[in-house]
Amino acid sequence: MKRIFAFLLLFVLVFSKIEAQVQTKSYYKKNEAIQNQPTVYIDWKLTNDGCWGCSSFYWSVNRQYVPSMGQYKFDIWFYSNSFYTNGVWASTYVQGIYFLVDGYNLYKDPAWLLFKDKYTTTFTSFYTPNPTPTVKITWSSMSVY
């Protein structure tokens, strides 16, 4: 009787160990998938208060880990907050934009953007092994368009 009880106890322990290992592997796969999803790195920031006839915009940065590269991809998003003098929502035209990441310019020459809705392009994305870089955007002028 003791042998049967010991065998059953050993049998239960072996299968409970296998179940725990399966759950652990599943847990890590879920965390890896979550880590690879884009997340907000810098929440929406407003350049200046908008008004009728004034130009302004919001900008935000998303971060996503790319395991195949071992780096983080950052996407910079823009959203217009400009209005014509009659109160109609307008596009924003921004000139002389520099994207500074950890104090370095992403591009040699300044860029310009014209956008009305959420907007991103390949030139507003960058890769870095640093998960928490300092991101700063400067511009020379902006106008309602």
**Which pLDDT tens digits describe the chain residue by residue (145 residues)?**
656 655 555 555 555 544 444 444 444 444 455 556 788 999 999 999 878 889 999 999 999 999 999 999 999 999 999 999 999 999 999 999 999 999 999 888 888 989 887 777 767 899 999 999 999 999 999 999 9
Residue type, 93: Y
How far apart CA 59 and CA 41 sit, in angstroms, is 11
Residue 117: partners with Cβ closer than 8 Å, 6 or more residues away: 79, 80
Domain co-membership, 72 together with 22: no
Domain co-membership, 27 together with 53: no
Domain co-membership, 54 together with 66: yes
What pairs with residue 143 in β-bridges? 93
CB atoms within 10 A of CB 68: 5
| Domain that residue 42 falls in | 38-144
Residue 78: partners with Cβ closer than 8 Å, 6 or more residues away: 57, 58, 59, 92, 113, 115, 118, 119, 120, 124
pLDDT the model gives residue 2:
58
How far apart CA 30 and CA 23 sit, in angstroms, is 11
Domain co-membership, 30 together with 42: no
